[in-house]
Amino acid sequence: MLTAGALLLTACEKKEAVTGISVSPVSGSLTEAGKTLTLTATLAPAGTKADVSWTSSNTAVATVSGNGLTATVTAVATGEAKITAKADIFTAEAVIKVNLAGGGGEGDGTGTKDAPYSVAQVMAKSSKDKNKIDEAAVWAKGFVVGRYNSTSKAVETTDTEGHNIMLAAVAGETDKTKMICIQLPVGDIRKALSIKDNADILGKEVKVHGDITTYNTFPAIKNTDGYWLIAENKGVNPPEPGNFDVPVMTIAELRALYTGSEVNLDGKKKIVGIVSSSLKGGNSTSKKNWVITSEDNMSGIAIRFSDKDNSYELGDKVEVLLDGKLQAYKEALQFEVASVKTAKVGTGSITPRKATAAEINADISKYECCVVTVEGNITGPEGAGTYGNKTKHQTNTLTDGGATLDLFVSKYASFVGQPLPTAKVSVTGIAQQYDKKKQLIIRSLDDVK
């Protein structure tokens, strides 16, 4: 039996329950191996006593040793570690970044998932040319600070479209000159990263995988095909590249497989050729489309990416794994394939073939997707004195004797505003057909002499 005095003592020694824990500071950085910083935990309610344990999410980057409400963090190697303080069922975190000289950390990434480029590096690598891919298939990271509204030209923290997000080196950044724009393609990536679908994405640090270019006038990552939520340690990795260790089929042999209906190929063979279209010239209705031509310029085929914009430029030597669909679109034969099923293996050049408009009209199969030179006079549609305009596509006419060819110019072409020549010229381009009409697609004004 307890005495009254014993009962009073027991009541006084009873501990008050912990209802929460916080850590200060919530972030920190170290730049030398062996350097330390101190973290302090605060329990709620004030004055509560409890055992506090400290752990590091990545001891290869930073270790932690705790002594009650304080802990010492020690830098080990470049990277990032989350230091967690736990009391009862409650936890709090501090993010510690270690950036040793030359270690590939913040501001010195290599573009890999483990060492992604920083916002500053993406800015430095972007050439400000929206028609150019400055570096393909890289990882970059930053904090989500909003989305760009192309109509109001403002960075906003609300979203009704989900087309993009803006990243900065620090959360809450409002200076547009310190941001990069991330294109969000339709699908799982947009659902995971857009402010429209995830209001709580603001302020989170993310990694994204794609191509460095210019988008919405900002240094940017486009063709985004992977992401990673850093705090949650989850996301989607980009598709694995294809296996190119397979036999080569000629482009002519590939074309011969088409006999009037779609052909599905399983990736057991590949084709090799030179890119004959010009990404920089922009004379196409879609950035997903490009053309590959055999090195002897006797056969070629249009390629369409199923998952992203084209990043190959005129003269790139490319392997295309035949894992996709061979089909006709408006009479033109094309092969649709995922971007990871293609790879640049070098560079090369193509010597144009000379032909007349009559010869091309008589048998387009001998010239389709090959580089051809035709002499003649160029005229525009009624009232047109330039190759095209920026509001709509334009079809000019190349007249060679009594025969004609269409000279299609996309509204996206870099040379749309340039004047048409008034004298007879030599025109080089890619021979194609569209709805039974024969065309010559010039890549730039270097094709007209």
Q: What is the pLDDT of residues 388-405, one digit of tens each?
A: 999 999 999 999 998 999
Q: What is the DSSP secondary-structure string of 4-18?
A: HHHHHHHHHHPPPPP
Is the confidence at residue 1, as pLDDT, over 70? no
With respect to residue 155, please indicate whether it lies within any of the assigned structural domains: yes
Last residue of a domain, one of 65, 98, 131: 98
Mention every residue, 6+ apart, whose C-beta is less than 8 A from residue 22. 41, 42, 44, 92
Last residue of a domain, one of 98, 133, 165: 98
Please check whether residue 302 is in contact with residue 257, taking contact to mean a CB–CB distance below 8 angstroms: no
Q: Please tell me whether residues 388 and 296 are part of one structural domain.
A: no
Q: How many domains does the chain have?
A: 4
Mean pLDDT for 83-111 is 76
Is the confidence at residue 6, as pLDDT, over 60? no
Task: State residue 251's pLDDT score.
Answer: 98
Please check whether residue 258 is in contact with residue 328, taking contact to mean a CB–CB distance below 8 angstroms: yes
User: Parallel, antiparallel, or unpaired: how do β-strands 300-305 and 332-337 relate?
Assistant: parallel
Mean pLDDT of the chain: 91
Q: Please tell me whether residues 363 and 296 are part of one structural domain.
A: no
In one-letter notation, the amino acid at residue 37 is L
Is the confidence at residue 161, as pLDDT, over 60? yes
Q: How far is CA 125 from CA 164, 310, 434, in A?
A: 20, 19, 38
Does an H or E element contain 55, and which?
Answer: strand 53-56
Pick the closest to residue 62 from 41, 86, 90, 38 (CA basis).
38
Q: What is the DSSP secondary-structure string of 169-237?
A: SSTT---GGGEEEEE--TTHHHHHH-TTT-GGGTT-EEEEEEEEEEETTEEEEEEEEEEEETTTTEEEP
Pick the closest to residue 393 from 407, 376, 373, 378 (CA basis).
407
Q: Please tell me whether residues 227 and 123 are part of one structural domain.
A: yes
Mention every residue, 6+ apart, whose C-beta is less than 8 A from residue 107. 99, 118, 120, 121
With respect to residue 215, please indicate whether it lies within any of the assigned structural domains: yes
Q: Please tell me whether residues 139 and 226 are part of one structural domain.
A: yes
Mean pLDDT for 130-149 is 92
* Locus of tokens 């649709």: 336
In one-letter notation, the amino acid at residue 113 is K
Question: Of the ranges 100-109, 138-147, 338-347, which one carries the lowest mean pLDDT score?
Answer: 100-109
With respect to residue 112, please indicate whether it lies within any of the assigned structural domains: no
Q: Two tokens at 318?
A: 């490319």
Last residue of a domain, one of 177, 212, 236: 236
Task: State residue 290's pLDDT score.
Answer: 97
Mention every residue, 6+ apart, whose C-beta is less than 8 A from residue 177. none
Task: State residue 253's pLDDT score.
Answer: 98
Residue 366's CATH number: 2.40.50.200
Is the confidence at residue 77, as pLDDT, over 80? no
Task: State residue 100's pLDDT score.
Answer: 62
Where in the sequence is the domain holding 65, given as residue range(s)? 18-98
Is the confidence at residue 45, as pLDDT, over 60? yes
Structure confidence at residue 15 as a pLDDT band (50, 70, 90): low
In percent, the amount of the chain with pLDDT more than 90 equals 75
Mean pLDDT for 220-243 is 93
Task: State residue 105's pLDDT score.
Answer: 41
Structure confidence at residue 234 as a pLDDT band (50, 70, 90): very high
Q: Please tell me whether residues 365 and 428 are part of one structural domain.
A: yes
